[in-house]
């Protein structure tokens, strides 16, 4: 499996937290909140296919 996905999610988190700090310094709290939301959605879109493939694999192995 690829560990790249973990690095990608971690990088996304770090970038978002940096941008969040910048936006909070510039007094744009609500946009910082929206940015966090977007980050969460993007990470969700990365993780959901992975979970789907895991469940398909488990179904195949255990014969559901």
Interface residues with another protein (CB under 8 A) are: 1-3, 5-7, 9-10, 12-14, 16-17, 20, 36, 39-40, 43-44, 46-47, 50-51, 53-55, 57-64
Q: What is the dihedral of CA 11, 47, 6, 64, to 10 degrees?
A: 180
Concatenated DSSP letters of 3-48: SHHHHHHHHHHHHHHHHHHHHHHTT-HHHHHHHHHHHHHHHHHHHH
19/28 with CB nearer another protein: 19
Residue 16 beta carbon to another protein: minimum distance, rounded to whole angstroms: 6
25/64 with CB nearer another protein: 64
């Amino acid at each position: 499996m690829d560990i790249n996905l973990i690095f990608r999610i971690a990088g996304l988190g770090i970038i978002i937290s940096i941008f969040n700090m910048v936006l909070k310094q510039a007094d744009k709290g609500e946009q910082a909140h929206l940015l966090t939301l977007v980050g969460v959605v993007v990470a969700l879109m990365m993780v959901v296919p992975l979970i789907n493939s895991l469940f398909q694999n488990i179904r195949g192995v255990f014969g559901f």
